Amino acid sequence: MSGPVGMGEAEAANELMRLARQIARHDRLYHADDAPEITDAEYDALVRRNAELEAAFPNLIRADSPSRKVGHEIAASPLAKVPHEVRMMSLDNAFSDEEVLEFVARVRRFLALPADAEVLMTAEDKIDGLSCSLRYEQGRLVRAATRGDGQVGEDVTANVAHITDIPQVLIGDVPAVFEIRGEVYMAKADFAALNAAQEAAGDKLFANPRNAAAGSLRQKDASVTAKRPLRFLAHGWGAASAVPGETQFAVMQQIAAWAVPVSPLLAQCASAEAMVAHFRAIGTQRPGLPYDIDGVVYKVDRLDWQERLGFVAKAPRWGLARKFPAERAETVIEGIDVQVGRTGKLTPVGRLRPVLVGGVTVTNVTLHNRDEIDRLGLRIGDRIVLQRAGDVIPQVVENLTREELRGAYAFPDHCPECQSEAVAEEGEVDVRCTGGLVCPAQRTERLRHLVSRGALDIEGLGDKTIAEFFGEGWLESPADIFRLHQRRAEIVGREGWRDRSVDNLLAAVEAKRAPDAARLLFGLGIRHIGAVTARDLLKRFTTLPALRAVAERAKGGDAAASAELLSIDGVGPVVAHALGDFFHEPHNVAVWEDLLTEVSPPPYIVEVRASAVAGKTVVFTGKLETMSRDEAKAQAEALGAKSAGSVSAKTELVVAGPGAGSKLKQAAALGIEVIDEAAWAEIVKAAG
């Protein structure tokens, strides 16, 4: 399988792993520490790259995928935790007019609207601040909370009492319970004055207004917040005993009538073209606005349509954030370093003359692979154009000096870590080290992958600790992780290691003696076996020994075993061959068997939501009158069912609308239960 610009599954898996780690780190820096190291544009581009790869390789979606998370956990916060009654979601991003047009078209398709039906949207500027939810009961503010991870935030009630934009009591007729959600921000002028005062006092300067606002609001001592000029703009709501309007725009007008500030640029747009025009209009006003914005937010105006559209993993289908484009800059490639990844892939990284792009100094850029270097004609000393945009961040856009008469860059044909031969497999662009477990880079990377959050998730075994223990010869293979208790006396007393920290680490290791089988399989780093594929395999075979037995039979030419593997959704010849190749190598089998002497993963059994169709395969056919086919499939998946496109012996339920043809006949011939759309609606209603 190939993906973006001919990328193979192995390269995609590696990049998804790196992106998950990078994004998780930047989430912590941004949401928990209020100390971001990159611009919003760079962060957006990392997320966009992750989404692009997941769309091209759905079988590689990781358990710790950034697409499944909102914000960041707040376990280390000094502030009290507050659960959100209604989850605080994020928004999907768009970076072009075409994506906005497709968003509107997607809404039409999902709702099964005719081509001439008006789809009214709201559009407003996207404040670059800190999300906050204000809970009012009987019109009085009783609690304020940050977004946190979307499900649990931090209690900042005492702090927001010092923000004059936030009324303690709402004016007018207010529902018994109503949560107003918006952004706490700092105006540009106030930020400049604050930093001037910080500099005069010899204190640390804030990087930008958003950072200043977040750091000011998330103070344990509310008196510190009181000294900071914070403001608030509402953009929506959460839990509500009643909603005062039938449209997004009407409710926002009512919130404004309660004396809560809303954006003065909030408008209704009757067409996709009007949405694009409003984006451009806001863009021209951006430099003169008193606060920082990073885009425009669109929302379907009708609330009943919002309810039907629902949500995906962490974002509503009815909302979209159109981001402003990032910047470009020129710099020089001063060197090219080659890094070796977990699967042996050699990745060239350009060392740059430091350059400021979008407010952040860039010193390195990935050059991806040998072919990309050849395509751009890159050499040390070339002057390049660097871009931080929505595709790949950072990215070399153009080589300005490729015509200069200098020798081409010679990509290494031996591994820089172990000096083993480095070759590209047939049909692949990636050059890989052939050293395998002999290569120290691959061994440590595989150990890091095994203990990562998406795999065994062993707390305390970070990159530094793995490198340290590997250097001592204590971690040579995965099974050695579970033998660390034998090294306790040697670990205690080392720099940074005391009795308690060692015991905590060993306890974390012991807690994984019966790991989730799919996580363990994914953690082994078998080529082409991502987190989703690992789960799909274990759903079928339940235990790791059973999976191994089928893979070995398939490798040996057993047609039935091969057919069984290939019948699993998401498992193609590439995955089947990778499994067979893994178990065909004696050193892999030795690692596998050694590890299974230390751990005992229980059978893999998936629990589904309780509903009348949970675990069943459902087929929708004919014309659906109250919803689109996409909406129906989304409902089925939400109820724990699988939606199939064709009727077969595996089908257990057919939902037939008017005009149902061959599928209905086939269902009757196979004796499959058939219901109408109204009966399906009752099943959905009964499941809650």
Instruction: Report, as residue numbers or ranges, the catalytic residues.
Output: 126
CA separation, residue 598 to residues 454, 488, 591, 593, 594 (Å): 20, 17, 11, 9, 7
Helix (H) / strand (E) element for 20: namely helix 9-27
Give the whole-angstrom CA distance, residue 519 versus residue 538. Answer: 10
How wide is the angle at C-alpha 422 spanned by C-alphas 576 and 595, nearest 5°?
A: 50
Q: Dihedral sign for Cα 449, 451, 454, 459, please.
A: negative
Give the whole-angstrom CA distance, residue 57 versus residue 13. Answer: 9
Q: Considering only CA atoms, which of 388, 419, 386, 418 is closest in space to residue 400?
A: 386
Instruction: Name the DSSP letter for residue 242.
Output: S
CA separation, residue 291 to residues 186, 267, 519, 680 (Å): 7, 18, 45, 49
- CB neighbours of 290 closer than 8 A, spacing ≥ 6? 187, 188, 189
What string of DSSP letters covers 169-227? B--SS--SEEEEEEEEE--HHHHHHHHHHHHHTTPPPPSSHHHHHHHHHT-SSHHHHHT
Give the distance from CA 265 to its chain's centroid: 30
Give the whole-angstrom CA distance, residue 492 versus residue 501. Answer: 9
CA separation, residue 435 to residues 342, 347, 438, 440 (Å): 11, 16, 5, 9
Give the whole-angstrom CA distance, residue 152 versus residue 165. Answer: 24
Give the whole-angstrom CA distance, residue 49 versus residue 37. Answer: 18
Report residue 41 as tokens.
Answer: 């544009």
Contact 130, 146 (CB under 8 A): yes
Give the whole-angstrom CA distance, residue 22 versus residue 61. Answer: 16
Contact 438, 444 (CB under 8 A): no
- CB neighbours of 638 closer than 8 A, spacing ≥ 6? 310, 609
- The SS3 call for residue 660 is coil
Contact 475, 466 (CB under 8 A): yes
Helix (H) / strand (E) element for 293: namely strand 293-300
Beta-carbon neighbour count of residue 142 at 10 Å? 12
Residue 607, class by beta-carbon neighbours within 10 Å (0-12 exposed, 13-18 middle, 19+ buried)? Answer: exposed
Q: Considering only CA atoms, which of 62, 73, 59 is closest in space to residue 30?
A: 73
Phi-psi region of 130 (alpha: psi -120 to 50; beta: other; left: phi over 0): beta
